[in-house]
Amino acid sequence: MARSSAASLLAALLTGATAAPAPPAADLLRDAMAADQRVSYVGEVQVLRIGPQRSYAAIYRVEHRAPDMTRRWYLAPQDLYGDSVIKRGSTTYSIDVKREQVVVSHDEDADQEIAERGNFGIMMANYNVVYAPDENLDGRPVHVVLLNNKYTGQTTMRLHIDSATHLVLERQQYGSNGSPITQMHIEQIRYTGSIPAEVFAIPHGLRQVDGAQRGAESTDVAHVISTAGFLALVPRYLPEGFSSTAGDVASINGVPTLHLIYSDGIRTVSLFQNEKDAAVDLSHYRAIATKVANHPAHYVEEGPTTLLAWADGNRHFALVGDLTLTELEKIGASVLP
């Protein structure tokens, strides 16, 4: 009997033919967050990030071996064809075949699990999780879950969750005006436990170079601020539901830079600051002039993400997030003394 049940579960995983009954929406959501840690799969992912002026798209083959080995093999855009990103635990290898180099970066994510738990709590505090009618996605039954902002009532995220594995197969995120800003979709998914380790091996013969060094992220924000080495300024205004979730201090070009993250569980804003007169170099972007309070400022848009930079004496600030420019300017004005 046990063998028969296991066989039917395996059959369901492989074919997706049977729809599992839906658990409470919040439980499903929590389970979906951790699905990558227990489900191995291969598939093709399409990601779209839509901005007010420009949008970005990428298509890649994905091989994921639970809990923490992933390879993305890029098919598009054309310039990236053949490049890949291999993530093994907290180390990421960006393999650039045209330049014959591997850029290695390490994420100090020791308290990643704590951060995820904290963010889930914030998300539950700010969003109502509700079911929409079940659907079929590429032949697989999926539960459709909406996350509606408690303050605005707007749907901020729509998830299509595989009813058998609880892996998110499609995700749409919406901006504050309701228009889609991000879409992710996995096609041709096949669940398998037999992805060989060689898939995640780093190719030989490529030059290895270090990527950007990042600070050790911590959810103990007060401690992070105390290690900045200067009197940090924090915003007096944040959009409803946002709170401080994490931070780090990194030395960038020898400049101690404090990075504070604010989130409402789905949307995030980063505030960077230094007091070494180190301005943000926007020369590689199309920067547009604006103001933060009465201070001259510039902003750039990368898809739906906006970076707003300004200075107050020797202190330089940058706000980064998927919020509107107006919201970022309001947050920025509240940072100033």
Partner 1 sequence: MKSHPSQEQLIDYLHRELAPDEDAALLLHLEGCASCNQRYQDEASLSESLRSFARASERELPAGVRASIWSVVESSERTPTWPVRLRNWLRPVVAIPVAATFVVAALAGYESNLHRGGPTIDAAYYLDDHAALTSAVPFNEGTIVPTALFSTENADGTQ
Residues 6-25 that bind partner 1 (CB under 8 A): none
Among 285, 290, 293, 336, binds partner 1 (CB under 8 A): 285
> CA separation (Å) from 83 to 64, 78, 95?
17, 10, 6
- What lies within 8 Å, CB to CB, of 53 at 6+ separation is 301
Nearer of residues 307 and 333 to partner 1, judged by Cβ: 307
Q: Is 210 a binder of partner 1 (CB under 8 A)?
A: yes
Nearer of residues 123 and 233 to partner 1, judged by Cβ: 123
Nearer of residues 109 and 138 to partner 1, judged by Cβ: 109
Pairing, β 288-292 against β 268-274: unpaired
The structure tokens listed for 289 are 């002039």
Nearer of residues 207 and 236 to partner 1, judged by Cβ: 207
Q: Which stretch binds partner 1 (CB under 8 A): 19-27, 61-69, 195-203, 279-287?
A: 279-287
Rounded least distance, CB 194 to partner 1, Å: 27
> Using an 8 Å Cβ cutoff, are 299 and 251 in contact?
no
239: Cα separation from own chain's centroid = 19
Nearer of residues 94 and 128 to partner 1, judged by Cβ: 94
Tokens 């890029």 correspond to 74
Q: Is 244 a binder of partner 1 (CB under 8 A)?
A: no
Neighbours of 229 (CB within 10 A): 13
Q: Is 310 a binder of partner 1 (CB under 8 A)?
A: yes
Q: Is 296 a binder of partner 1 (CB under 8 A)?
A: yes
Of residues 214-243, those binding partner 1 (CB under 8 A): 214, 217
Rounded least distance, CB 180 to partner 1, Å: 14
Of residues 38-57, those binding partner 1 (CB under 8 A): 47, 49, 56
Among 143, 305, 329, 335, binds partner 1 (CB under 8 A): 305
17: Cα separation from own chain's centroid = 31
SS3 assignment, position 130:
strand
Nearer of residues 248 and 329 to partner 1, judged by Cβ: 248
Of residues 81-140, those binding partner 1 (CB under 8 A): 83, 85, 92, 94, 96, 99, 101, 103, 105, 107, 109, 112, 115-116, 119-120, 123
Nearest to 335 by CA among 292, 296, 280: 292
Total residues binding partner 1 (CB under 8 A): 80
Q: Is 157 a binder of partner 1 (CB under 8 A)?
A: yes
Among 186, 318, 328, 331, binds partner 1 (CB under 8 A): 318
Tokens 């609880």 correspond to 166
Strand order in the sheet with 41-50: 127-137, 140-149, 155-162, 168-174, 180-191, 41-50, 55-65, 69-76, 84-88, 91-96, 101-106, 207-210
Q: What is the CA radius of gyration of the chain?
A: 22
The structure tokens listed for 19 are 């729809």
Nearer of residues 11 and 288 to partner 1, judged by Cβ: 288
Distance between CA 283 and CA 106 in Å, rounded?
A: 27
Among 126, 149, 165, 182, binds partner 1 (CB under 8 A): 182
- What lies within 8 Å, CB to CB, of 245 at 6+ separation is 115, 118, 119, 122, 219, 221, 261, 262, 263, 268
Nearer of residues 12 and 244 to partner 1, judged by Cβ: 244
Q: Is 64 a binder of partner 1 (CB under 8 A)?
A: no
Among 6, 209, 223, 229, binds partner 1 (CB under 8 A): 209
SS3 assignment, position 122:
helix
Distance between CA 43 and CA 64 in Å, rounded?
A: 9
Q: Which stretch binds partner 1 (CB under 8 A): 6-14, 187-195, 229-237, 281-289?
A: 281-289
